[in-house]
Amino acid sequence: MLHLHARTDPAWGRRALACLDEILVDHAHCEKKAASTAIGLVFRYPEYPQLAVPLARLAREELEHFELVIGHIRRRGGELGRLRPSPYAAELVAAVDRHEPARAIDTLLCCALIEARSCDRMQVLQRALADALAHADPRVDAELVELYDGLLACEARHHASYVELARLLPGADRVQIEARLEALAQHEAQVIAGAPPIARLHAALPACE
Ligand SMILES: [Fe+2]
Ligand SMILES: [Fe+2]
């Protein structure tokens, strides 16, 4: 269960195929950012030792994904370069409560929603890739379909892990967490709906054809 208020239209995946190489570079940066965010939380919250090992493990997985995606970019003759990120994550975390311990809970729930949206986008992209492969589209190969097949399951697991970690914090009873997750998921749906049309994993329909 991804707790998303609005799932991605399959049309997004079909449009993403038109700028697949840029989507892949953005995807690599997202994996790197996911690892950095997880480690950043370990540094920020030494008073919550229950977060340390799960977040260290998660960061390691994200770095493995980062390396994996770079491998696919290079296999396709591309290279990792600087890319302006989607404003999605910054706009999402703008809703985080500024006061602790609510800030810690909100931050973990926003991470959970980013993981959920990544999973949702990868699912749509994987279906578009599989469909293109079945139609012998030269932009797509079986390795890329397998890449997203494997990754989307991990991102769904990361979503559940972040929700569980939020529940481990002081002052976080189950009812409060559910209510806060619901409110942040509503905000997330607005942020993703309002994201600009650029070739990013967390943006609107890519404009390139
Ligand atoms: Fe990942
Ligand atoms: Fe993840």
Nearest residue to 200 via CA among 33, 29, 32: 29
pLDDT at 1: 87
Ligand nearest to the CA of 58: 2
Rounded to a whole number, what is the distance in angstroms from the first to the last CA of the chain?
33
Residue 179 to residue 133: CA distance in whole angstroms: 42
Instruction: Report the C-alpha gap between 24 and 200 in whole angstroms.
Output: 9
What is this structure's pTM?
0.95
Distance from residue 62's CA to the centre of ligand 1 (Å): 4
The CA 136 to ligand 2 mean position distance, Å, reads 30
Q: How far is CA 63 from the centre of its chain?
A: 13
pLDDT surpassing 80 at residue 209:
no
CA of 155 to the centre of ligand 1 (A): 6
Distance, in Å, from the CA atom of 31 to the CA atom of 142, rounded to the nearest integer, reads 21
Given a cut of 90, whether residue 24 has pLDDT beyond it is: yes
**Tell me: the pLDDT tens digits for 48-85?**
999 999 999 999 999 999 999 999 999 999 999 999 99
Helix 102-134 and helix 174-193, axial crossing angle in degrees, nearest 10: 50
Which ligand is closest in space to the CA of residue 157? 2
| Ligand 1 centre distance from Cα of residue 58 (Å) | 8
User: How many Å lie between the centroid of ligand 1 and the Cα of residue 138?
Assistant: 26
Distance 152 CA to ligand 2 centre (A): 9
Cβ pair 106, 184 in contact under 8 A: yes
- The confidence score (pLDDT) of residue 166 equals 97
C-alpha to C-alpha distance for 200 and 22, rounded to whole angstroms: 7
Closest ligand to residue 156's CA: 2
Q: How remote is the CA of residue 137 from the centroid of ligand 2, in Å?
A: 28
pLDDT higher than threshold 80 for residue 203: yes
Averaged pLDDT, 176-185: 95
- Token digits for 83? 């890319």
- Supply the pLDDT for residue 136: 95
User: What is the spatial distance between Cα 123 and Cα 148, in angstroms, rounded to a whole number?
Assistant: 7
Q: How far is the CA of 62 from the centre of ligand 2 (A)?
A: 6
pLDDT digits (tens, 9 = 90+) for 84-134: 999 999 999 999 999 999 999 999 999 999 999 999 999 999 999 999 999
Ligand at minimal distance from the CA of 37 is: 2
* Nearest in space to 192 (alpha carbons), one of 181, 202, 180, 184: 202
pLDDT one-digit tens code per residue, 133-174: 999 999 999 999 999 999 999 999 999 999 999 999 987 787
Contact 147, 125 (CB under 8 A): no
User: Cα–Cα distance between 56 and 39 in angstroms, integer?
Assistant: 6
Which ligand is closest to the CA of 27, given by its number? 1
Name the residue with tokens 């008073």. 47
8 A C-beta contact, residue 119 and residue 159: yes
Yes or no: say if 2 and 116 are a contact pair by the CB < 8 Å rule: yes
Q: Residue 206: which pLDDT band, with cuts at 50, 70 and 90?
A: low
pLDDT, residue 208, reads 54
SS3 176: helix
Position 207 scores a pLDDT of 57
